[in-house]
Amino acid sequence: MHQYVTATDGQRLAVRATGPADRPVLLLVHGYPDNASVWDALVEELAGEYRIAAYDVRGAGRSTAPDTRAGYRMDQLAADAVTVADAVSPGRPVHLVGHDWGSIQSWHAVTEPRYADRFASYTSISGPDLDHAGHWFRSAPDGLRAVLRQSVRSGYIGFFHTPLIPELAWLTGLGGLALAGMERVGGGPARPARRTTRDYVNGLALYRANMIPRLTRPAERRTAVPVQVLAPANDAFMVEQIQSNAGRWVDDLRFHRFQGGHWSLRSRPGAVADRLRSFVEEVESGAPRPRRSPAAARRHGGAFAGQVAVVTGAGSGIGRALCLELAERGARVVAVDVDGPAAERTAELCALLTPGAAAQRVDVTDASAVDKLATRVREEYGVPDLVVNNAGIGAAGPLLETPIADVERLVDVNLWGVIHGCRAFAPMMVEAGGGGRIVNTASAAAYLPSRMYGAYSATKAAVLALSRSLRGELAPSGIGVTAVCPGLIDTGIIGATSLSGVSEAQEARERLARLYRRRGYTPERAARRIADAVADAPDILPVAAEAHIGLYLSRFAPAAVRALAKAGLPV
């Protein structure tokens, strides 16, 4: 059903509504240079589940266009969203969904205090708040490299500010050809866009009326409206950091990566629909939602906000420290360990930072138990964004003097535990649209052999090789796989390490423990390093300095590595 709604300045906005009148209302706001037809594939995915309204923003599609640039300013665009919301859902908040410029103007609406009660939730796809972006460019919280990458991707904005030339590019068709090339990034559209020359030309005023004043003089714009940010992995115009930065300004944020390009709402509508459906149902249920403290939000932004993170070996050491670090950054942690009480204690500590943490007692050597864990996580918390296969045990001594039972136990925990975790969680992460992360804990021993750690090194080398192979396997789904090689981290692992063929084992154990303590690299420091690197999903992540040096030697000085292997470590 099509109707026209009159905006506060007299412009007429074309609105199309469909779906059951008694269902929650989704209000869809398109970007540039699109019109409301860009949502057709997503509307089909959600048909019958919601009341869905999509409108042509001013100047696009069937809507009228202002005579002056002032008619495209952000305050007016935000007021348009509220006007349409009042028309399609009088007296009941709507679930706002924006893409590209529709996302930018929708951010302005939900961060306006007088409008907040009109929105039950907001889902942003490929578009930041301009004021948030202005602060991000100034402070560079994610590093200069991210700012430079975003500056390159935003280079077209300067072109759009030049007089007449952009209009000529659209009128001659050259701009359309360039845009079609951009759309092919990330898989291409599922159906051709139904754009008109009018959509291309009028929408240039969006940039000219808003970009410079908002980016150069950013305001403080916060919101208590629940927000979900969807960041396609192959977005040609957006780096994910400028979008996750919203966590510094939003009380209740969900940040999710998924595989796709800038126009994923057309090329991968199923993945977008799944995330949207899950978020709307969560908000509509009225269940308590995890919120981070303002201090934590300011420190870490939103790269992990609202994400589900499963960590095995979470009862102590790096596993527990990583759980706490992720919870500090806004993740809902599922702490897994064979020691149930230890996992529960980790979850209790995590819940103090971000509510919603849970504990599960699971032996990772049991494939069926890990499969049941994956099913339970999906049903109770949703498909995880991050899975960390961290459970592991240590062993030292010559291979020929190590009891076969100890070797089998090493392989079962250190290798099979990782295999079981990958096989249980990766398929559901692919099915959910990809974009997640899998982190497998290996060791610097994976590339630094030693006559004293033969069996242990073998299991960790296998984890490294497995991770690299799985990385290639999952690359088409946008799921990053990283092998973490910590180095000498003072986790207390030596106390539980079995020693074989070593005289005076207890004395040797104490000497090794002292070595780790003197090294002084704490699990908390390692956890921060891992969490900082997860977004970029490196192939291999050495943590401590000796792990970096060992990796360098293994690549460029193999003779030195062989000499170290013969010498072994002092025990």
Do the domains 307-567 and 2-294 match in fold?
yes
Number of neighbouring beta carbons within 10 Å of residue 398? 15
C-alpha 145 chain-centroid distance: 18
Cis amide prior to 33 (ω within 30 degrees): yes
- Whether residue 518 is predicted with pLDDT greater than 70 in this model: the reply is no
**Measuring CA to CA, which residue among 73, 133, 122 is closest to residue 98?**
122
What is the pLDDT, as a whole number, of residue 434? 87
In this predicted structure, what is the pLDDT of residue 192?
A: 61
User: What is the pairing mode between strands 51-55 and 540-542?
Assistant: unpaired
Specify the residue for token string 């996750």.
Answer: 244
Selected catalytic residue, list 453, 456, 516, 552: 456
- Yes or no: say if 251 and 98 are a contact pair by the CB < 8 Å rule: no
Least confident of 43-57, 396-410, 434-448: 396-410
CATH for 2-294 is 3.40.50.1820
- In angstroms, the CA 207 to CA 155 distance is 13
CATH number of 307-567: 3.40.50.720
Q: What digits encode the pLDDT tens for the residues 148-204?
A: 999 999 999 999 999 999 889 888 877 677 677 666 655 555 556 688 888 999 999
pLDDT tier for residue 570 given thresholds of 50, 70 and 90: very low
Give the predicted TM-score (pTM) of the model.
0.89
Average pLDDT for the chain: 89
Helix, strand, coil percentages in the chain from 3-state DSSP, rounded to 5:
50, 15, 30
The pLDDT-based confidence of 386 (bands split at 50, 70, 90) is very high
Give me the amino acid identity at 170: W
Give the model confidence (pLDDT) of 480-510 as tens digits.
999 999 988 866 655 455 655 555 445 544 5
- CA dist 232 to 126, 264, 364, 369, Å? 7, 7, 32, 33
Coil, helix or strand for 228?
strand
> 334: which 2 tokens?
């599922």
pLDDT average, residue stretch 128-143: 94
Concerning whether 32 is annotated as a catalytic residue, the answer is no
* The two structure tokens encoding residue 45: 């995915």
C-beta separation of 460 from 510 below 8 A? no
Count other C-beta atoms under 10 Å from residue 212's C-beta. Answer: 13
Per-residue pLDDT at 516 exceeds 60: no
Which sequence spans correspond to the domains of the chain? Answer: 2-294, 307-567
